[in-house]
Amino acid sequence: MKIGFIGLGNMGAPMARNLAAAGHEVHGYDITGILVEGVTQAATVEAAVKDAPIIITMLPNGAILREVADQLLPHASKGACLIDCSTVDVDSARLVADLATKKGLLSVDAPVSGGIGGAEAGTLTFMCGGSKDAFAIAKPLFEIMGQKAVHCGEAGNGQAAKICNNMILGITMIGTCEAIALADKLGLDRQSLFDVVSTSSGYSWTMNAYCPAPGIGPKSPSDNGYKPGFAATLMLKDLLLAQQAAKGVDAATPLGTHAADLYQTFVTEDLDDLDFSAMLPYLAAKGHS
C-alpha cells in the first residue's frame, strides 16, 4: 500500500520506518528534509500524498496540523484515509476531520502513548477518534506501529483521551515525587518507601513502572540522568492542552491547573529539557511553601 507520511521527527521517523519495513511503499516529507531508511523522500507535501490511499501526519501542534491539512487535502485522492497521530487541541482535530469529510476523505485522529522508545519498537498505543469505517482501515497500520489501538468514538475523542490520560499522569508524577522528597526529609529510605507504596494503596504507574528515584524499581529515565523518555516540555504541552479543553467546556480541573503551573515553572528553569520525572530532584531541592 502507498502511504504518504508527513512529519518525520523523533516520533514520525521510526513509525514511517516500521511501516516501510513491513512492506508498505512509504513516501515521506519533512520540512527539515530528513532521510529515513526505507522511506522515499518526497520534495513536497503534495508529492508525498499524491495517489496515496493512506496519509499519516505526525506534527508538533494544532496550528501546523491545520496548515498542512490546507496543503494536502486538495491533492489527496477521494476516499483516502487521513490518520493524524499528532497530539493537538481537540478543536483542531475536529476542524481537520470536518475539512477531510468535505473533501471526500475518511479521517482518524490517533495520538499516541509510548514515547520515542515505543515508536522505535513498534509498541505504541493509539487513542483514536473518527468513524468505525475509518478506524477499520487504519487499524492494520496501528498494529504495525504499535501494540494497541482503542477506538474512543467520534472525531476529536482520540485527542480527548490523550489529554485526559496525560493530565492524570502529570498529576500522579508530581504526587509521587512529593512523597519521595518528603520521605527523604523524614529519614525514610527510598527503597523502603517503594516496597510499601508499590504493594499498597499508593500504587501507581509513576511509582511502580517509571519510578522517579534512581536505582528504585524497574529501569527508568531516572537511572540515565533523567535523559528524556517523555520530556518535561511535552508533559507541559499536554497539560496546557488539557487546560485549554477544560476552559472550553467549563470543566473543573484544580489539580490539572496546579500541575500545569508547576511544570511551567520547572520547564522555565530546566536548561537541559529533562524527563518529566526530573520533577523529583527539582522538588527535593525545595523547602516547604
- The helix-helix angle for 90-102 and 62-72 (nearest 10°) equals 10
Q: Residue 130 is inside which H or E element, if any?
A: strand 124-130
Catalytic member of 162, 185, 247, 286: 162
Pairing outcome for strands 112-113 and 124-130:
antiparallel
Tell which residue, 93, 205, 103, has the closest CA to residue 153: 93
Please name the amino acid found at residue 95: L
Tell which residue, 278, 284, 166, has the closest CA to residue 223: 278
Q: Is 247 assigned a catalytic role? A: no
Q: Which three cell numbers stand for residue 274?
A: 529533562
How is 214-257 classified by DSSP, letter by letter?
TTSSS--GGGGTT--SSBHHHHHHHHHHHHHHHHHHT---HHHH
**Residues 141, 153: Cα–Cα separation, whole Å:** 19
Tell which residue, 171, 178, 121, has the closest CA to residue 145: 121
Residues noted as catalytic? 162
